[in-house]
Amino acid sequence: MRIESDIIPLGEIEEKIIEALATELKGSNFVVRVYAKTNPPKTALNVYRRQYNADIIFDTLRKLKGNIVAITNLDLYTGKLNFIFSVAEVDGPVLVSTYRLRPEFYQEKPNFDLLIERMSKEILYSVFKTQGLNDCTNTKCLMHKTTSVGDLDYKQREFCKDCKINNTVKGFKV
């Protein structure tokens, strides 16, 4: 089974990042379509926090057809969390941000390949969540939920042994 993904660049995200991520997903046997750049709803900007409300953006994404994977460079927060790397829901869209996955956010040298690797893991994890896959307790597994770049870098861009067995049966692979 091939997963279809409709990539939407959201905001001033660099084209080469979108291209690299589309290539990554195709490499994992996804069918990928890339749509024209769009802007987040104006109401999503919280000027006091200088962040964007992911709940508001997510609501607009829900109204779109297809398997939406919105990729943005905006700093996202939700009603519950001060910041998020991504948000996804079963049978719904995916929203992922580069903002806190860039090494320079942590005062490190820019590293394009590392950013793409982090984004790939975050996107694959999120897309598999939309397909109903569960979180995994194995910290090396792609399906382990991570909220720090340290944990994200630690996990691998592949399923652990158990997930591989379970998910291959369901038709999913990376």
The residues that touch Zn ion, with contacts defined as CB under 5 A, are: 136, 138, 141, 143, 160, 163
C-beta of 146: minimal distance to Zn ion in Å? 13
| CB nearer Zn ion, residue 133 or residue 149 | 133
C-beta of 134: minimal distance to Zn ion in Å? 9
| CB nearer Zn ion, residue 8 or residue 136 | 136
Q: Buried (b) or exposed (e) across 2-33, using 16+ Cβ within 10 A?
A: ebebbbbbbbebeeebbebbbebbeebebebe
C-beta of 99: minimal distance to Zn ion in Å? 27
Q: Comparing C-alpha atoms, which of 34, 128, 73 is closest to residue 157?
A: 128
Which amino acid does the sequence have at 24?
E
Q: Where are the alpha helices (DSSP H) in the chain?
A: 15-27, 54-62, 112-130, 149-154, 161-170
| CB nearer Zn ion, residue 123 or residue 141 | 141
| CB nearer Zn ion, residue 33 or residue 164 | 164
C-beta of 126: minimal distance to Zn ion in Å? 15
Rounded Cα distance between 21 and 81, Å, is 26
